[in-house]
Structure 1
Amino acid sequence: MECKEFGYARVSSKGQHEDRQLEALKEYGINGRDIIVDKESGKDINRLGYLSLKNNMLRSGDTLVVKELDRLSRSKADIKNELEYFKQKSIRVKILDIPTTMADYPKGQEWVLEMVNNILIEVLGSIAEEERIKIIRRQREGIEAAHKKGIEFGRPNIKKPENWDEVMCKVQSGEMKIVDAMKKLGIKKTSFYKLKKMYLVKVAD
């Protein structure tokens, strides 16, 4: 069976673009149909595209190409584990931004390549993990600062309509149906029942 080269690209969210990575992989020579893309965090390896590539597509003798080391993961432990897994499966990993991983050493001197790569991957893996820790810390500090300013996250609270009590009295007395009450209050069904629950108004459906 002919050995193949697959490309892998990852961005952390759907709002980000993988164009830069795809361009680099295609420029290297990877066919577009052999490039797998994930739009998920690099905090771990539990990504649908990556796991499918790893478990179902890559075979012994194949090559996995990524633009940057942290596209595999931002966890140093995961990076080491994945690279060791590929090594055991005789799957070569090439990282476009680490030139030594692209080189072909003479037979018998592969240990030189492995030694250099291990040093680089150790350093870059630590940087990737530290960057993830910084991102998490910045997010937490941002949320804490926003809370101090009175900014709340999530969906805004539903404001109680000024005519709520008047309308609900008519609903309770049977003078008005719930569907008409919602129109009178100017709110949708979901908001109506949330307000009903908040103000503990007993309404017969």
Structure 2
Amino acid sequence: MATILYTRVSTAEQTVEHQVTQARAAGLVFDQVVTDDGVSGVTIKLADREGGRRLFDLLRSGDTLVVRWVDRLGRNYEDVSDNIRAFMRRGVVIKTIINGMTFDGAAADPMTQAVRDALIGFMAALSQAQAEATKEAQKAGIAHAKERGEKVYLGRKPSFAENQINQVVTLRGEGKGVTEVAKQLGLSRATVYRILKSPSDAHASAMAWR
């Protein structure tokens, strides 16, 4: 039985090393790392990514798949939920680094199955909502720049990735403290406070530098 960590890196602010460090800090031990580098999470399905295809080739019953968050496993609600269920049907256990969630297809109790499936649906929907928010912020920023018709000072390069903005807001909404959020996402407390002060400004800044 193998444990595989899957990482997706789509921006310069994200690194495989950081995701590996986060997994180890969460107490997770893995045998292999499969990576998709420079791949957009909101446009390309998991099965269409090189690393994603490798996951489907490698994972067998009894194996464990570790991901930073469920949004790593697809580009939208349907893709994420379908992939999680496809892996569970194979007998693969899925674990997330953030919040330490576990999705196991071996559950036999109907109530446990119902709660698990409802949670999968909710998390997949949340992932899509985060992706849609990012895309809308990008569109707004691009439109604003075109209207001005001039080169705009971008300000200091942000120390956070686009996908981390919604994760900060979500984790705080779940009652996580700023220190805990910063530790989970590999950010400074000052950065977390800056994002929380104005998520829309944070999106605009990340989009501009992207």
Task: State the TM-score, normalizing by the size of structure 2.
Answer: 0.60
* Helix, strand or coil at the partner of 1:28: coil
Given the superposition, is the C-alpha separation of residues 24 and 115 from structure 1 closer, same or farther in structure 2, using an over 3 Å criterion? Answer: farther
Any conservation in 2 of the 1:9–1:66 contact (CA below 8 Å)? yes
2:11 match: 13
Aligned to 1:25: 23
Please give the TM-score of this superposition, normalised by the length of structure 1. Answer: 0.61
Larger Cα-atom Rg: 1
CA-to-partner distance for each residue in 1:73-124, whole Å, 9 max, x for gaps? Answer: 241100111012112222222223354517899x754x44432222222222
Partner Cα distance (1:148, 1:138) in 2: 15
2:113, 2:99 → 1: CA distance? Answer: 13
Secondary structure of the structure 1 residue equivalent to 2:102: helix
Q: Distance in 1 between matches of 2:98 and 2:113?
A: 16
Residue 42 (1) aligns with residue 44 (2) = no
1:117-136, aligned counterparts within 5 Å? Answer: 117-136=116-135
Matched residue of 1:122: which SS? Answer: helix
Query: Aligned Cα RMSD in Å?
Result: 2.7
% identical equivalent positions: 26
1:1-205 mapped onto 2 (5 Å cutoff) = 3-26=1-24, 27-31=27-31, 34-39=32-37, 40-43=39-42, 44-45=45-46, 46-54=48-56, 56-101=57-102, 108-109=108-109, 111-151=110-150
Aligned equivalents of 1:112, 1:6: Cα separation in 2:
29
Deviations 1:32-62 (A, max 9, x none): xx011222111222211121122x2112221
Q: Which amino acid aligns with 1:8?
A: Y
Greater CA deviation, 141-150 or 88-97?
88-97
Unaligned runs of 5+ in 1: 153-205
The structure-2 alpha-carbon separation of the partners of 1:112 and 1:50, relative to structure 1 and needing over 3 Å to count, comes to: same
Q: 1:18 to 1:127 in 2, by over 3 A?
A: same
Separation (CA, whole Å) in 1 of partners of 2:131 and 2:105: 32
**Whole-Å Cα distance in 2 between the matches of residues 116 and 50 of structure 1?**
27
Change in 2 beyond 3 A, CA 1:101/1:115:
farther
Q: Deviations over 1:117-159 (max 9, x none)?
A: 222222221111011111111111111111111148xxxxxxx
For residues 128 and 16 of structure 1, the distance between their equivalents in structure 2, rounded to whole angstroms, comes to 18
Provide the rounded CA distance (Å) in 1 between the counterparts of 2:16 and 2:105: 28
Q: Is the 8 A contact 1:74 1:125 kept in 2?
A: no
Q: Taking structure 1 as reference, are residues 19 and 104 closer, same or farther at Cα in structure 2, changes over 3 Å only?
A: same
> Which residue type is aligned with residue 143 of structure 1?
I
Distance change >3 Å, CA 89–CA 119, structure 1 → 2? same
Query: Which structure 2 segments of 5+ residues have no match?
Result: 152-210
